[in-house]
Amino acid sequence: MRLEVPTVQGYLADEYSKHATGAAVYKGQPVQSFPISLSDIPAGTQSFALYVIDFDAVPVSGFPWIHWVAANFPGATREIPADVSRTNAIPHVHGRNSNGGHLVGNTDPAIIQNYTGPFPPNEDHDYELVVYALDTQLALADGFWLNDLRHQINGHVLDQATLTLKGRV
């Protein structure tokens, strides 16, 4: 499986990160998810699941920061459009990001159950996008956690692809 995400000079475009403005920002958070092109999909794919995680956040927060978790994009999907996290233009199940943890204390579903863009505080960070092609739809409801996804995909992964995206400070 192959993934493509448009970048600008090697970085995730401003509208998907801390440099977003206008409607791409909600309560100070960049919330417009980036588009993803999927190709070389394995036969039998029934759904896709994904997550975006920032391991460079460990020195800052003490743990990897989860920016986006989503599941049950239909298996026929080849383009996940920009802002799908908010618009639900392709219906899917919304997982919780790290803003939804008890350490942050946010309860607004618009922030904790959708994409929240890169916001590197100290230096440029690498953001890992992982997409799974699955042989089933997962039994997940909005608000699930990344660990729920990881448990449920066991035995159902037909293929997976990882893409590193750079976010600028």
pLDDT tens digits, one per residue of 70-95: 999 999 999 999 999 999 999 999 99
pTM summary value: 0.95
Distance CA 7, CA 73 (A): 23
Does the pLDDT of residue 125 top 80, yes or no?
Answer: yes
Q: What is the CATH number of domain 2-167?
A: 3.90.280.10
pLDDT tens digits, one per residue of 41-51: 999 999 999 99
Which sequence spans correspond to the domains of the chain? 2-167
Query: Which long-range contacts link 100-108 to residues 24+ away (Cβ below 8 Å)?
Result: 100/143, 108/27
